[in-house]
A and B are shown apart, each in its own frame.
Chain A
């Protein structure tokens, strides 16, 4: 069945450091891929998405590229801020199914 694997956290960085959170997936066919972010005490918010191979999703300085050949959708940001501290979830969906999430990666950024 479909699944998402993301790197385990927590990831601890200093402000302005470069961020990468790895995400790989297993799916039949061509899923759409998402990154959601969850701030403490809140629900999940869509951060970015990509619906086909080689698409790049971007938002708030975060980027991820849909790589079909490596079945990956790694999240990157060139310079993190304290306000980026949150839990990040990689997810996929295929037509007729619900979102399947990875376990989540906690990011902690210190000033």
Chain B
């Protein structure tokens, strides 16, 4: 299995630009998660989907952030407009349900906003 695939792996963008991060979960997994990792805050859950439906988006920082999951094999996390404080590693992860099954992580998208 290819695992969770994220793109881009690295992105450097200017403040104010739109950033779109993409994720392809493991085939057959019906739960998808977006996490953000920073030195200051560690790993924070931004949002998670179950069967393509957003279940908990309480971790989304503000209206500049939005996430979609149009089908079972694709999700996007968009930041518009981006700010320097959004610089972080964004991880996508997937699992079969959320009842103790292993959650598999992608390799992350390293975002730098200058």
Cα–Cα distance between A103 and B93 once the two chains are bound (Å): 18
Count of chain B residues with a beta carbon within 8 Å of a chain A beta carbon:
20
SS of B interface (majority)? strand
Q: Count how many chain A residues have C-beta atoms less than 8 Å from C-beta atoms of the other chain.
A: 22
Q: Which of A11-19, A20-28, A74-82, A94-102 contacts B (4 or more CB under 8 A)?
A: A94-102
- Binding stretch for chain A, among B13-21, B67-75, B78-86, B101-109: B101-109
A99 x B33 contact (CB < 8 A): yes
Q: Interface centre among B43, B55, B106, by most A CB within 10 Å?
A: B43
Q: Which residues of A contact B (CB under 8 A)?
A: 32, 34, 36, 42-46, 49, 51, 89, 93, 95-104
Ranked nearest first, the 10 interchain pairs of A and B with the lowest CB-CB distance are A32-B100, A43-B105, A101-B43, A95-B99, A44-B105, A43-B107, A103-B42, A98-B48, A51-B100, A98-B45
